[in-house]
Amino acid sequence: MQTVIQVTPSQLQKMVTFYKQASTPRLPNGAIFAAKNNNASIIGYKSGKVLFQGLGFAQEAALWQTSTVSTAAKAIGKKSTTPGVNIPNDFSNWSVLGSDEVGAGAYFGPLTTAAVFVAKENISWVRQLGIADSKTLTDAKMRQIAPDIIAKLPHHVVNLMPEKYNILQKNNNVNQMKAISHNFALGKVLEKIAPTVPTGILIDQFAQESTYFKYLNNANQSNIVQQNVYFTTKGEQYHLSVAAASILARVVELDSLDKLSDEAGMRLPIGAGKAVDMVAAQLLQQGADLNHYAKLHFANTLKAEKLKR
């Protein structure tokens, strides 16, 4: 009653973390982890082979076989930032929970992260929305599509407005805040769809996989979502769930920026260029608190202060 599967180095490291609480002290020769739970005994070897033994060996192995990358051979020797290198060939037809974030490079407005679950039976419906290449859609088109996504698909949005963002940024770098936001949004959607379990989870990549989980561990995050998780840049090209998440995040960001603009009494531009410096300086001249409108650690803050003088 046993089976052996072959996994990639990144997947093996993911298993080390996953089975940490169930680990056993004695390691066979060549092993990097050994664990035992109610289903099986599991031993992972440096070679990438993982042995499952016990009454529930097949059930336990099945948890990881859907995550075993069919393109593993291609991945060897390639950078993990190569788009789609770790994504299985039929991934676009899976039931996937995807996440994406916007606003990290904009001085005014929030950092917004969204997660959306697209079950395989909803893929055709989502495709008909015309969101396959979400990065090319206009803001107006995304605002038209977003209500349909909200009404039809399980989702969650983490919207860090500037005041909250600035508090968190004192103890976290931007990528760590992204990781925390992605993990929280993903966890909330998993709660909403339970007991349904996605075949895969796809995060639009902003950091190496190992770095992403390091950020979460360093931030002492509980309930880290890590099973069947994939990472790739240009995630919207590999599953519509990321495209939907990108649209939802963008619309929430735009709505938040509209609200802040109304409060400021002037249009707050997107981005971090010279136009942003000028508007920030104007706000300062009017006695406004930039903490309410902007991400203060950007260089634009100092530039605006100089322009004000």
Question: Would you say 181 and 160 are in contact if contact means Cβ atoms under 8 Å apart?
Answer: yes
**pLDDT number for residue 85:** 74
pLDDT, average across residues 182-205: 95
For the whole prediction, is pTM greater than 0.85?
no
**Binding site: which residues?**
100-101, 204
Residue 65's pLDDT band, with cuts at 50, 70 and 90, is: low
Residue where the block lists tokens 């336990």: 60
**pLDDT number for residue 75:** 35
Is the model's pLDDT at 241 over the cut of 80? Answer: yes
Buried b (16+ CB within 10 A) or exposed e, 54-92: beebeebbeebeebbbeebeebeeeebeeebbbbbeebb
CA–CA distance, 248 with 270 (Å, rounded to integer): 17
Question: Would you say 54 and 35 are in contact if contact means Cβ atoms under 8 Å apart?
Answer: no
Is the model's pLDDT at 186 over the cut of 60? Answer: yes
Is the model's pLDDT at 56 over the cut of 80? Answer: no
Among residues 43, 61, 84, the alpha carbon closest in space to that of 5 is found at: 61
Out of 30-39, 56-65, 124-133, 237-246, give the one with best mean pLDDT. Answer: 237-246
**pLDDT number for residue 225:** 93
**Binding site for a divalent metal cation: which residues?**
100-101, 204
Comparison of pLDDT for 136 and 114, the residue scoring more: 114
Residue 81's pLDDT band, with cuts at 50, 70 and 90, is: low
pLDDT, average across residues 167-195: 95
